[in-house]
Structure formats: structure tokens, C-alpha cells
Amino acid sequence: MSSPVLRFAPSPNGNLHLGHALSALLTAEWARRLNGRFLLRIEDIDTARTRPEFVEAIFTDLRWLGLEWEEPVLFQSTRFETYARFADRLRARGLLYPCFCSRSDSAARAEGTDPDGAPLYPGTCRHLDQKDAERRLATGEQANWRLDTRRASERVGALAFTMAEPTPLDRPRIRYARPERWGDVVLVRKDTPTSYHLSVVVDDAEQGITHVTRGRDMEAATDIHTLLQALFALPMPNYTFHRLILDDEGRKLSKSRLSQSLSDLRASGWTPDDVRRALGLLSLSG
Ligand code: GLU
């Protein structure tokens, strides 16, 4: 296997909380034990929600925790052209189609929910006449571009990915991927020429990431990432899904619920060791 490369990849659309601290500290520690590299990637494709002060706060919080990463940091917002080229490859293979439905149209016609509980897109625009769709695009009508997930899965056949804690060496478990349960996901958004799924897969490959470490809430999304890796013939990293940090009502911490941030904790007198202690990581070296 190529030499280990791990990454922490936050989105600068809010302040980091204890859940991010767990992810960053575990990833850095595994990189250290594997004698691997630790990279930081700023996932700032959502230009409407990204703010420079959140990027600065990420650097401040991670340094405060005692983490060091390689420079230069990769900013996804500098890579829209690359993502567009990957999307074009799928378009050329007939695996992406334009979808003109509004969010409320799709929700109203949804057929069940995806693994995140969001309405499952019923595939309405998959059946549009191609000429009609081209005409609408030519008049400047905005579209999301969706992956024809079933057709894409048929092209690549059965998919699986490996899950193991990098150290101490866990017995790897194979998880069969079921991308169909996500339906036809949006890979190129109306407002951004990419999506989380597309850019994360392209950049993990670009940066040679061998071990992806992320929270358990992202395990199901890995089905789509595995499918994209197979379609683009990219290497498949090992995956580790770490535990989530819950609040006192048992809900996972979230930026949108304004869970207490690391900077709030710091301002109220917490030290980096207090963070490690709260996360049950005090035995890890800093
Ligand atoms: N940027 C994502 C987040 O902040 C995580 C990306 C990943 O680990 O794949 O939730």
C-alpha cells in the first residue's frame, strides 16, 4: 500500500464543536501512529454559507488543540474547474441528467426517504425528452445535474468498501455499498458547479488519501462515494467511522443547532486537555 495519508476536511460554514475536535484529534493521532501524513482540506464549495472568519477560526481552533498539518491547505473553492471536468466525464457516459425540479416539487413527489431522512427524489427528470431538456438549458433555465444511480451501479457491478480502525489494527470489515438507496443524487448543483459527494471523492483521490476518517453519520454516504470511485477508476481508501458526540438530549452536535463551539469553550476557560478529557482521549499524546 502507498504511504498513509489522512485528512481532516471541515466545512467553514460555522464554528467547530467537540465533534470536530474528536474527528481532527483521532485523525491526526492515527496519522502519527501510522507514520503517515496529516492534511487539512477546507471544504468551502458552498460559497453562500462559507465565511472567511470561519476559515480563520478553524486554523485557530486546530492550532489551539496542538495540531499541525502540511501546507499548503487545499481549498475546494479553488478547484471548481476540476470538478466540472469530472462531471463532464459522467455526462459523456450518459450518467448525469439535468433536473429542473424545485426542492418543493421533489419533496412533494418524493418516494420515501434517503438514509439521511431527506425526501427521495422520484426520478421525474430522468424521463425528460433529451431534446426538450437541451432546449430548456439553451434558454438559460437552471438545472441541478443528477447521477442516474441505477444505471451507474449497473455499469460498475457490486461494490464494497473496507472499514477498519487504522490502529491498533482492527480486523477489516467489508461493507457492501447500496448506492440505490440514495436515489439520483445531485452531483452538480444549480448554485455551485459541484456537490459534496463529487468534490470529496475527487479530492480524496487527488490528495492520495489512504484512510478516510469521518463520523458514523457519514457511513451511508460512503455508498455514493464508492460508486463514484468505481466510475472514475479512482483508488478506494480504507474507511473509519468514529463515534459521534451527543448533546445532553442525545442529539448529535451540529453547527445549525449552534452547539457550543470550541471557541466558546476556550473563552470559558477550557484547556486543550479539558477537550481531550471530555472526549475520552486524554491518553492520546497531544
Ligand atoms: N466537510 C464535511 C463536514 O464538515 C466532512 C467531509 C468528509 O469527511 O468527508 O462535515
Give the model confidence (pLDDT) of 193-211 as tens digits.
999 999 999 999 999 999 9
Residue 103: how many CB atoms within 10 A of its CB? 9
Average pLDDT value for the chain: 93
Measured in angstroms, how far is the CA atom of residue 140 from the centroid of ligand 1?
Answer: 32
What angle, rounded to 10 degrees, do the helices at 222-232 and 149-156 form? 60
- Which pLDDT does position 259 carry in this prediction? 73
Containing structural domain, residue 172: 93-243
User: Do 44 and 183 fall within a single domain?
Assistant: no
Measured in angstroms, how far is the CA atom of residue 125 from the centroid of ligand 1?
Answer: 29
Measured in angstroms, how far is the CA atom of residue 137 from the centroid of ligand 1?
Answer: 31
User: Do 191 and 284 fall within a single domain?
Assistant: no
pLDDT in tens, 113-170: 999 999 999 999 999 999 999 999 999 999 999 999 999 999 999 999 988 877 666 6
- Which pLDDT does position 218 carry in this prediction? 95
Backbone angles phi, psi at 37, to 5 degrees: -95, 150
When pLDDT is averaged across residues 24-38 and rounded to a whole number, the result is: 95
Question: Quick check: is 24 in a domain?
Answer: yes
Backbone angles phi, psi at 160, to 5 degrees: -150, 160
Reported confidence tier of residue 107, pLDDT bands at 50, 70, 90: confident
Q: How many domains does the chain have?
A: 2
- Which pLDDT does position 171 carry in this prediction? 77
Selected residue with higher pLDDT from 42 and 173: 42
Q: Is 200 in the pocket of ligand 1 (CB under 6 A)?
A: yes
60 pLDDT above the threshold of 60:
yes
Residue 242 Cα distances to 8, 188, 189, 274, angstroms: 13, 28, 29, 20
Question: Quick check: is 83 in a domain?
Answer: no
User: Do 48 and 162 fall within a single domain?
Assistant: no
Lowest mean pLDDT among 112-121, 239-248, 254-263: 254-263
Question: Quick check: is 1 in a domain?
Answer: yes
User: Do 117 and 106 fall within a single domain?
Assistant: yes
Question: Quick check: is 87 in a domain?
Answer: no
- Which pLDDT does position 1 carry in this prediction? 54
User: Do 1 and 102 fall within a single domain?
Assistant: no
User: Do 67 and 165 fall within a single domain?
Assistant: no
Percent over 90 (pLDDT), the chain: 84
Question: Quick check: is 163 in a domain?
Answer: yes
Measured in angstroms, how far is the CA atom of residue 135 from the centroid of ligand 1?
Answer: 36
- Which pLDDT does position 173 carry in this prediction? 87
Alpha-carbon distance of 12 to 45, in angstroms, equals: 9
Q: Which residues pair with residue 42 across a beta bridge?
A: 75
Pick from 7, 62, 196, 244 the residue to mutate for probing ligand 1's pocket: most ligand atoms within 8 Å of its CB. 196
Residue 195: how many CB atoms within 10 A of its CB? 22
User: Do 122 and 138 fall within a single domain?
Assistant: yes
Measured in angstroms, how far is the CA atom of residue 213 from the centroid of ligand 1?
Answer: 9
20 pLDDT above the threshold of 50:
yes
Residue 263's Cβ-count burial label (10 Å; 0-12, 13-18, 19+) is middle
Burial 28-64 (b: 16+ CB within 10 A, else e): bbbbeebebbbbbbbbbbbeeebeeebbebbeebbeb
pTM (2 d.p.): 0.94
Residue 273: how many CB atoms within 10 A of its CB? 13
- Which pLDDT does position 169 carry in this prediction? 65
CB contact at 8 A, 196 and 222: no
CATH code for the domain of 231: 3.40.50.620
Reported confidence tier of residue 286, pLDDT bands at 50, 70, 90: very low
DSSP 50-94: --HHHHHHHHHHHHHTT---PSSPEEGGG-HHHHHHHHHHHHHTT
Please state the atom number of ligand 1 nearest to the C-alpha of residue 10.
4
Alpha-carbon distance of 88 to 42, in angstroms, equals: 24
CB contact at 8 A, 177 and 159: yes
Tell me the residue type at 274. Answer: D
Measured in angstroms, how far is the CA atom of residue 30 from the centroid of ligand 1?
Answer: 17
Lowest mean pLDDT among 53-62, 127-136, 239-248, 271-280: 239-248
- Which pLDDT does position 164 carry in this prediction? 81
CB contact at 8 A, 130 and 160: no
User: Do 2 and 134 fall within a single domain?
Assistant: no
Q: Which residues pair with residue 74 across a beta bridge?
A: 41
87 pLDDT above the threshold of 50:
yes
The rounded radius of gyration (Å) of the Cα atoms in the chain is 20
Please state the atom number of ligand 1 nearest to the C-alpha of residue 7.
8
Alpha-carbon distance of 158 to 213, in angstroms, equals: 23
Alpha-carbon distance of 99 to 178, in angstroms, equals: 23
Q: Whose CA is nearest to atom 4 of ligand 1?
A: 10
Pick from 75, 199, 218, 259 the residue to mutate for probing ligand 1's pocket: most ligand atoms within 8 Å of its CB. 218
Q: Is 10 in the pocket of ligand 1 (CB under 6 A)?
A: yes
User: Do 12 and 71 fall within a single domain?
Assistant: yes
User: Do 158 and 234 fall within a single domain?
Assistant: yes
Q: Whose CA is nearest to atom 3 of ligand 1?
A: 10
31 pLDDT above the threshold of 70:
yes
Angle at 16 between CA 78 and CA 79, to 5 degrees: 10
285 pLDDT above the threshold of 60:
no
- Which pLDDT does position 220 carry in this prediction? 96
